[in-house]
């Protein structure tokens, strides 16, 4: 029964309205996709296997900050990549908060390398466990430049020289690196790798090309120690879900730029089944929603293939030709990005990853909690995280 006082609308009219609506959304998504593709084609990244810039003998000393919890896959090789740098003065400090953490025996194998130190501590500033670990490590840092990097990251020998050179550019206060993905376990890892390499990375590149960069991610953050102290240090980040984003925002509030490095690091993707992949992807989406609500609200446009499929469901004949065309172009896009980053991924994961990505975007609109390292956290309206589900 129509609502009293309003004209009735035939079902056929509603279907037509929906058809035009989804066609318009799919069209806008394809325009976005074309821009992201153009940005990737014109980009010349420096990859880990590339020769890096030469560093000056009197370059700033660098403290590499490594918060560790448990043994990540291929962790020894990841850590060794940070210790094999063409850079004159640096140290790497690994922080562990649990005296029986299984990573400690692994770290014993690095004791003879003078650049590496291990710090065991129980510092607690807030609800974010990573920031608590960072606080205890940074307190032991010796050098004026801090480079924060996650445990699953691998780099090449030119990494530090490139970061310090870019950090010395005018008005730059913090440098972040994007990352390519190398799946090392099963199909779920392939799904997450596609999300990283073919959706997340191009979207950040395009956003930085169209306006001031606001991305600041934990794969790598390079910042001067004096700037880090000026923003309030780890105490200012202790309850933030997106601590890396909050760090960048506070650096910009000091009057500096948050810059995107041309250096691309590598992340190793290991997901223990589909549920682990889903929880990981949902936490990322929920984090983005907390810190960039408008950006996240429109991020569904990064999934043109499922949007074109939805539009085609309302049309006949030629619409399915459009679906076939977009699907073919999507596979070409997949191949081009893999070649650009020298990190080819399985084509069999592409279509499913795109459909799941759109679903996870929708789920993140209503998700009020995230799961991180086996613990549940609730997220408030300001992006603050609270231990346990409230």
CB neighbours of residue 389 within 10 Å: 11
- Mean pLDDT of the 343-356 span: 92
Give phi and psi for 362, each to the nearest 5. Answer: -65, -40
Per the listing, tokens 């080819």 go with: 344
Select from 1.10.287.1770, 3.40.720.10, 1.20.20.10, 3.90.550.10 the CATH code of 62-273.
3.90.550.10
Residue 16 has pLDDT above 70, yes or no: yes
Judged by DSSP in three states, 355 sits in: helix
Summarised one tens digit per residue, pLDDT across range 74-112 is 999 999 999 999 999 999 999 999 999 999 999 999 988
Residue 375: pLDDT band (50, 70, 90) is: low
Ranges in the chain annotated CATH 3.90.550.10: 62-273
The tens digit of pLDDT for each residue in 161-175 reads 999 999 999 999 999
- pLDDT bracket for residue 6 (50, 70, 90): very low
Cα distance between the two ends of the chain: 41
Nearest Cα neighbor of 279 from 169, 190, 150, 192 is 192
The pTM is what?
0.88
Mean pLDDT of 296-314: 90
Q: Which of 343, 277, 347, 267 lies closest to 40 in space, CA to CA?
A: 343
> pLDDT per residue over 191-236, tens digit each?
999 999 999 999 999 999 998 899 999 899 999 999 999 999 999 9
pLDDT tens profile 55-73: 777 788 999 999 999 999 9
Please tell me what DSSP assigns to residue 259. E
Q: What are phi and psi of 272, to 5 degrees?
A: -85, 70
pLDDT of residue 367: 66
């Amino acid at each position: 029964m129509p609502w009293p006082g309003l004209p009735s609308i035939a079902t056929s009219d509603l279907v037509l309205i929906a058809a035009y609506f989804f066609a318009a959304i799919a069209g806008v998504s394809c325009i976005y996709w074309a821009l992201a593709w153009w940005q990737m084609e014109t980009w010349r990244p420096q990859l880990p296997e590339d020769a890096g810039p030469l560093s000056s003998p009197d370059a700033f000393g660098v403290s590499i900050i490594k918060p560790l919890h448990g043994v990540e896959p291929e962790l020894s090789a990841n850590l060794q990549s940070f210790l094999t740098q063409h850079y004159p003065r640096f140290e790497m400090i690994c922080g562990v908060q649990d005296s029986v953490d299984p990573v400690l025996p692994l770290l014993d194998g690095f004791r003879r390398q003078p650049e590496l130190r291990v710090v065991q501590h129980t510092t607690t500033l807030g609800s974010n466990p990573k920031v608590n670990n960072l606080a205890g490590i940074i307190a032991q840092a010796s050098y004026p430049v801090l480079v924060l990097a996650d445990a699953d990251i691998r780099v090449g020998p030119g990494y530090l020289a490139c970061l310090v050179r870019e950090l010395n550019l005018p008005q730059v206060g913090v440098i972040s690196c994007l990352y390519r993905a190398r799946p090392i376990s099963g199909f779920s890892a392939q799904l997450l790798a596609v999300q990283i390499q073919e959706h997340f990375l191009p979207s950040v590149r395009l956003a930085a090309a169209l306006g001031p960069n606001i991305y600041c991610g934990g794969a790598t953050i390079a910042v001067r120690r004096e700037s880090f102290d000026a923003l309030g240090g780890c105490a200012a980040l202790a309850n933030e879900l997106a601590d890396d984003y909050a760090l960048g925002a506070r650096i910009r509030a000091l009057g500096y730029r948050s810059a995107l490095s041309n250096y691309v690091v590598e992340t190793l993707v290991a997901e223990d089944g589909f549920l682990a992949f889903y929880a990981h992807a949902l936490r990322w989406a929920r984090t983005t929603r907390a810190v960039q609500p408008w950006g996240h609200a429109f991020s569904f446009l990064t999934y043109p293939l499922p949007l074109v499929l939805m539009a085609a469901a309302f049309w006949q004949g030629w619409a399915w030709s459009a679906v076939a065309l977009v699907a073919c172009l999507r596979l070409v896009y997949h191949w081009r990005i893999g070649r650009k980053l020298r990190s080819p991924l399985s084509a069999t994961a592409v279509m499913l990853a795109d459909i799941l990505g759109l679903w996870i975007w929708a789920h993140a609109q209503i998700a009020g909690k995230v799961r991180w390292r086996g613990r549940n956290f609730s997220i408030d309206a300001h992006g603050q995280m609270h231990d346990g589900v409230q």
